[in-house]
Structure 1
Amino acid sequence: MEPIPQTPYSYGPFTTGALPRLSERAQLQTILRSNGRSAAPAALTDYRLQVAPTTERVAEYDEEIAQLQSILNRMVANREVLQYHADACSSVSAPIRRLPDDLLLQIFRVGLWSQLQFPTQEKEWSNIVSREQMLDHWRLRRALIAPLYVHIRRLAQVCASWRDLVLGSPILWSAIELDFDYLGPAPESRDIERVVQLTTSALERSADAPLQIYVRSRDFGYYTDGSVLDLLSRHSNRWKIVKIWAGPHPHHFKNFKCLAPAMGNLPLLETLHISGLPTDCDFFEVAPRLTELTLEDPIPVHAKLPWGQLQAISYTRLYPEDLPTVISQLSYCPQITRLAFYMLHIPDIQDWPIIPAFVSNVDTFVVKFTVVAGDAQETVIIDAFLESITLRRCKTLHLETECKGKDSYPLPWPPSAFLALSSRSAFHDTLLTLEILNLEISATQLLECLSGLPRLEALLVSDPNHWPNSHTADVFLVNDVLLRGLTSTPDSGLLLVPRLHSFDCRTYMQFEDNSYLNFIASRVGPGRNADGPFQSSILYYRGFSVKPLLAERLSEFVLRKQLESHFECDYSGSILEPK
């Protein structure tokens, strides 16, 4: 680095000279307030004589200030040069510059797609008071896939090597997400043309890479002439993951026929997530690699899909009247290993239909009940559902209530129905993981269920995150009773769930620290956990936290490599009243 020429930053001492005394300035202010009438003629003459020399001194100050400002400006400029040079020297030796391109590319992929968080629920536009506001808020800021290309361009502008890597890596351009709802209720033709241009560019840059396609529109047929779907269909031989959300009613997807070129040309398709699928649509009937399917409301009655090869099926936004259709469809799926019901709405009791008996060999079964304020919340509802199913080979069972609105509350736990399900499904031989979230179940009821699950290895439970004000402390599942019931002591005899290797909870921390510590100590003793450290996490609701002493005691087990522990705040829970 060349030495910087020395710059003189001083022009010698600056003499301020005599300044008016405070008493003189006060006397002058008094004269000014009296409009000069209180001053003697001699004093007025003296003030007139002071004008010229004082003005000269002001000019000297101005000149000195200008010189100092010039010096300061040069110092700031030189400082910026030095700082830029220091940053460049640090950057050239940064570890990220030594990463191989393939690893750097993986980092880019994670960073890019974490920027896109399109919602999965139908958006409300009632708060948009005018089209102009809507355009400013949505189209100009986050319209469609534009955010992705903004982030890609930023990466490409870092340096020449990054630009070459970004532009020459088809994998970065292989995920195409189009959310037409960001354009608002009535997009203009130029907006649609822009979408087509961006999609065309992404398809060209993705070369031969397998594609991930995401299309969302509440009324795709109203928005466009199908040009975007037609464009995507011409590349259906590269589709690997496809998600299409077309609104809650079948007639919304008027241009579904634009997918016709894809029929019989889906050699790579593995995952399909679709809503509004017309009953007579057979575009996805031939897809040799399709193993994962998600159907959203409305559920097609006679969907033409390769049911016989599917291994994982999810249904989203289910209603009781859909269950007979769903059970009929599942009878054609001999290879299914994972089944999930998301947003299974709970209606009034009189609307709950008779559910056909359902016997399945799935490994994983997930049910997420959705309770809306005002819906019936009786045990008979979940009883009827559990009594209709038999899971002969189930290894993982997940039961959860999702509360919509502040006046909706978790469903009560059906102890008899679950014990009957456990018995006829032989859970004592098969069940390895049990997850019970946001259900109104007591510690005693859960311990009774666990007594018949000797092979259980993982348990996830939670305190309900909503409940009526009339409820008492009984709603807390994660309490001393539960922890003591899971603790092995010399006098306790046979240990409950002896193979338990993982315990996770979402909690209001309504238990004593010693109860939790004793539970952990009993699970990390000699001869236990041959497969590795015992795993336990606490997700505490808002307003609570893990006490420092408890964290310190748990860290001792972690240091001895007997425990893997994790604490984190879970913001889903309601804040407790002081009582």
Structure 2
Amino acid sequence: MREQTFRLRSNLDFVALLERLRCEHGPAVTDVTGILADVDKDLEDCEAEVGRLQSRIIALHNQHRLLEQYRTYLRSFRSPIRRLPNETVLRIFEYACGMNELTSKKLGDMPTLVISSVCSRWRSLVKTRPALWSFIRINMQLIPPNEFLILGLYLESSRQSPLCIELIGKPKTLELHHQTCGAGSRFRVLSTRSRTLQECSASVYIRVLPSQDLGEIQFPWKQLRLLSLERHPSGMKNVLHICDKLTELQFREVDAGPGSYELSSPPATASVLETLSLSVSQTSLSESLAEVVFSSMSCPSLTSLLLEARNEYRRAWPKEALHTFISRSSFHLTTLSIKFIALSDADLIDLLHRLPSLLHLTIDDSKQSLATTATTPSPITSRLIHSLHAFPHTKSASVSSALVRRLQTLDVTFSGSTAFDDGEFIEMVSSRWLPADSDAFGLQVHTANHLDSGIGTECLRSVVMRFRNRGVNDKVYSPSRHLEQAGMRVVIVDKSPES
């Protein structure tokens, strides 16, 4: 797009203007009206040009940050390790690579795979040393329900090297044994921590209701797409088996008596479920709906997770159960909503680290709907805002990857009265503004390439910030107006004077 030249219609001759003001005869009224009209148009053009330039400044500022990161990567070409001979590098790899835990969700637990991902040279070197791929540990309870492709990769890459395999727990399927037994002639060490082999079958007939089986009720269960429940029976696997086309499942926690929320073991799989909603409530029961659901289900197709409390919910954040649920399901979540539930900023940041595919995030720290007091603790802190910055500052010299880099919409409700840094918030929002049409300003931005390489973020498209219990300084939020004029949806709502 060609830049338009900005020209004023008005001739700002203050000397001539003041002389005519002092003389007896001034210009005709019609002339003054025409001049004023030109001045008004020039003022409008100036405001539009200021907005355009402000948007360009923000884009240039982010381009400057990208250039700094690009320079950091260029400097890595001068790293001393690049001058080491291959023989020395391989000795280092042998020292660094131990057991590879193939069922772990942490890449750091698979050192051979991590090293082979650094660069083409390292990958070529690792491929020439099959022994690095021959140390394998597998937790049977964490094997994904679908294909276990990574085991095939390790067995193939280890070639004819003697294998050291450690199996932990009771296997749920014989497929793993078929894969490993195919390489039985290469076993050097085979270690197992399971006493028995479970049968690879389960009864379909599981009692769900007190007096009758769900399958005996004459109802088109296969047509159901949404199901809402106020309990979680131990036979949840049967419910999901009969209603196997569910795309949305809602749970509502109620004080319904003992046995209302029971664990399902092994976890039940909802293969096509896309939306899971939990409406939790403080009850007299020892069981927690959130803990039970997250410990009892696997949802590989889940895209939306909605968590909301209906009263002053006081239970602890189900951190371990939720993290295990995420690891077990291996889904690509795009929408996360957490309302009226107390959790720390560290727990929320930890959760967001596990959801790199997230596009839409909603956080409300109110104690309950329309409340003007915040939960304790509240996740909305400077630490959270800083972690969402597209270019987070770290004490180390290394480049730090931004959190939830694909985020497109952010909806935040803050119910505290103080301890909120407005400047840091608007700076975070501005850091995520780098639209695809930035080349209109002469900026060469390739968002997809940056994301693939772990640099930069998607362009944030919508921000809604509500303050339940405080006002805001319009001057601090003035940069948001430039972003809004450039195409971002920005809504800032503070406490009204009447409340």
TM-score, L = length of structure 1: 0.40
Name which one, 1 or 2, has greater alpha-carbon Rg. Answer: 1
TM-score, L = length of structure 2: 0.45
More relative contact order, 1 or 2 (CA 8 Å, 6+ apart): 2
